[in-house]
Chain A
Amino acid sequence: MSSVPMIAQTAGRGAARAAARKRNLGGAGVNRRPGWITYTLLGLVLAISAYPIYYAFLLASSDSATIAQNPVPSLIPGPNLFDNIGRVISSDIKFWEAVGNSIIVAVVTSVSVVFFATLAGFAFAKLRFRGRRPLLVFIIATMAVPAQLGIVPLFIVMSKLEWTGKLVAVIVPGLVTAFGVFWMSQYLEEALPYELIEAARVDGCSMIRTFWHVAIPAARPAAAMLALFTFVGSWTSFFWPFIVLGSTNPTLPVALQLLQASYFKDYALIMAGVVAATIPLILLFAVAGRQLVSGIMQGAVKG
C-alpha cells in the first residue's frame, strides 16, 4: 500500500485523480479554458496542415482542362477521381506491383525491427553482461551517423549479390534500427520489473522463454509505436529504393517518380497517383494517429 500516494489514502481515489488532472492540465499556470484566439490560431494551423492534401484530392478529382483554367481550384471536388485513379492503375508504372512491394517491405521491416529491437532492448535493459554500457553507447552514437552516405558501397555490395532490382535489397538494410534498440531498452528499463524476470527464472524458464513470456508482453505498447513509426518510415522512403530498385520493380514513391517523369503535363493523373499512394497512410493515421502523437511526445521526454 506504500505506493498509493498520500492524497489517495486520505481523501480517496477520486480526489487524487482530480488533483492529478489539475496539476497536469493547467495551461501556462492558468487553469481556465483558453479563449477563441487560441482556437482560431489552431484552426489556421490545421488548415495549413490539411489543405495541401485536400488540394491533391481536388486536382485528382478534376481534369487537365479545368486545372489549366483555374490555378486556385474550387473547394468542391470534381467528378473524375475514380477515372483518374483508373488511369494511374492502367498506366505503365506497374501500380499494383508497387502497392504490393510497398506493403511487403513495410510489413517485413516493421515486424523485424520490432522483434530484434525488443530482443536487444531486453538484453540491454535487464540482463547483465560484459560490455553492456559501451555497446549501448555505441548504438546511440550510430543514430547520429548519416547512413545514407554509405550508399555507394552498399550499392556495390547489392550488385555483387545480384540483388539490385529485388525487394530484398531494400528489406535487408531495414531489418534493424539503432533507434529501435534504444527505444525498446529505454521502455523496458522502466516497464519490466526485475521481480517478474526473477519469478520466471525461478520457475525454470530459460532466457529465451523469459523473453517470450515476460518481456514481450511488457513491451507491447512501445512495440506497437515502434512498428507504426517503422511502417510510416518505410512506406514513405524514396532515396535507397529509387537507387537500388529502379523502375523495373518499384515501391510506391518510386512509382510516383516514374509517373511524374512520364506524364508531367497531366496533373490530374499525377495527383490521382499521389492520392492513391497516400490514402493507406491516412487511414492508418485515422486509426493509430493517437499512438503516433504519444510516441513522439514520449520519445521527446526521454531522448
Chain B
Amino acid sequence: MSVTVPVGTEPGVPDRTRRVPAHDAPPEDPRQRRRNLLGRLDVKVSPYLYISPFFLVFAVVGLFPLIYTAYVSVHDWHLIGGQGEFVGVQNYLDVVQQPRFMTALRNTFSIFLLSSVPQVIAAIVIAAVLDANLRAKTFWRMGVLLPYVVAPVAVALIFSRLFADQAGMINSLLGTVGIGPIRWHADPLSSHVAIATMVNFRWTGYNALIFLAAMQAIPRDLYEASVIDGASRVRQFFSVTVPLLRPTVIFVVITSTIGGLQIFDEPRMFDQLGQGGADRQWMTVTMFLYELGWGAQKSFGRAAAVAWILFLIIVVIGLINFAITRRIASTAQPGSESRRRSRAAARSAARNIEKGGLR
C-alpha cells in the first residue's frame, strides 16, 4: 500500500512523484485524506503565493502609474487642483511647442552620447588592463568600483566645484598649460561635458567589471592560437577580445540608454538653482518634466505628456538598438556559432574544474 507524495519540481523531469509506504495511516482515514488534500493544495497554491508579493507591488507602483500616465496626459490636471477636463492631445501640443522641450531633448541626447561612448571605450580598456595575472587583483578591482558607492548627488556637488567657472580646479590646471578658462557652466556643450564626466566617473569602473567578467569567459586557447599565428597583444585585443565582447557591449549600451535618457540627479545639482542654467543650457527632459509638474506651471497633464513622450523615445531607441544588434549578429562570421558553443563549453569546463579543486 502506498500514497503518492507529489513533489512540485521542475517539469519535464520524468517521474517527479515518489512512492512512499504509508504505514502510519490507511488511506481511508478521513484525517489522512484531509491532510493529503491540504498537501496537494499546498503544492498547487504555494508557487502563486510566493510570486504574488512581487506582482502586487509591481502592479500598484510600476504598471499602474505607467499606464495611468497616459490617462493623466490627456486631461487638464493640476498639482493641487487635481483632475480637470479631458483635453485630448492639447498637453502634448503645449509641450512640444515650448522651445524648452527641444532644448531639453538636445541636452539629454548630448549628455547621453558624451557619457555613453567614452564610457564604454574606457571601460573596455580598463577591463583589458585588469584582465592580467595581477598581484592584489581584488584591490585593483575594488579600486575601480569605489566611485559607485558615492551618491550621484554627492558626485555632482564635488564635480560642480571641480568644474567651477571661476577659481575651479580644472580651469586652474588647464590654465597652467595655457588653455584659457572654459565656461563649464555658461556654455551648453562644456556643461554637457562636465555633467557627462560625473556620469562617467561613477559608472566606468562598474562597467569595466562587467567587461572583465565577459573577457574572462573567453577561452584562453583562442589567445594561444592567435599567439601562434603571430598576433601582437594589440592585435589580440582588437581581433579576439573586442569581437567576442559584442553581446556584453550591447547589454551595457541598452542598460545605459534606459538610465541615461532619464538623467536627473547630476544636472539638477550642477548649480544651486537646479533649473539647468540661465538659458536651460543643461536642462534634461526629466528636469523639464519636474519643472512642468512641480515648478511654476504645476501642470501634471503636461508633465505626464513629457513622461509618455520620453517613454516612447526610449522604446524607439531600444528597438533601433535591437535592430542593429540583429544586423550585426546576422552578418557575423559563419564560425561564430560554433565559437559561442565552444565558449560555453569552456566556461562550464572551467567551472567544473574549479568546483573539483575546491571539493
Contacts and interface: CB of A to CB of B under 8 A. Distances in A.
Given A46-B143, A68-B167, A149-B262, A19 B133 contact: no
Interface centre among A129, A278, A290, A301 (most CB of B within 10 A): A129
Interface centre among B44, B72, B237, B272 (most CB of A within 10 A): B272
B154 A301 contact: no
A145 to B, nearest CB: 7
Contacts of A140: none
A147 interface: yes
A78 interface: no
Nearest to B225: A29
Nearest to B126: A45
Q: Is the interface of A mostly helix, strand, loop or mixed?
A: helix
B53 A120 contact: yes
Interface of B: 5, 7-11, 13, 16, 18, 20, 39, 42-44, 46-48, 50-51, 53-55, 57-58, 60-66, 68-69, 71-72, 126, 128-135, 138, 140-155, 157-159, 161-162, 164, 167-169, 171-173, 201, 205-206, 209-214, 216-217, 220, 222-224, 226-227, 233, 236-237, 241, 248, 251, 254, 258, 261-262, 264-265, 268-269, 271-274, 286, 289-290, 293-294, 300, 303-304, 307-308, 310-311, 314, 318, 347, 350, 352-357, 359
A162 to B, nearest CB: 14
Contacts of B154: 56, 253, 256, 274, 277-278
A239 B159 CA distance: 19
Given A71-B168, A150-B68, A178-B58, A32 B356 contact: no
Interface residues of A, number: 118
Q: Is the interface of B mostly helix, strand, loop or mixed?
A: helix
Given A201-B5, A300-B251, 4 more contacts: A132-B47, A144-B254, A146-B310, A146-B311
B62 to A, nearest CB: 5
B288 to A, nearest CB: 13
Contacts of B355: 3
A72 interface: yes
A16 B58 contact: no
A146 B172 contact: no
15 contacts: A3-B355, A20-B350, A33-B135, A34-B132, A56-B158, A71-B172, A128-B47, A142-B62, A144-B258, A151-B289, A238-B152, A278-B154, A284-B149, A290-B142, A301-B214
Contact of B145 (A26, A29, A235, A296): A296
A173 B161 CA distance: 33
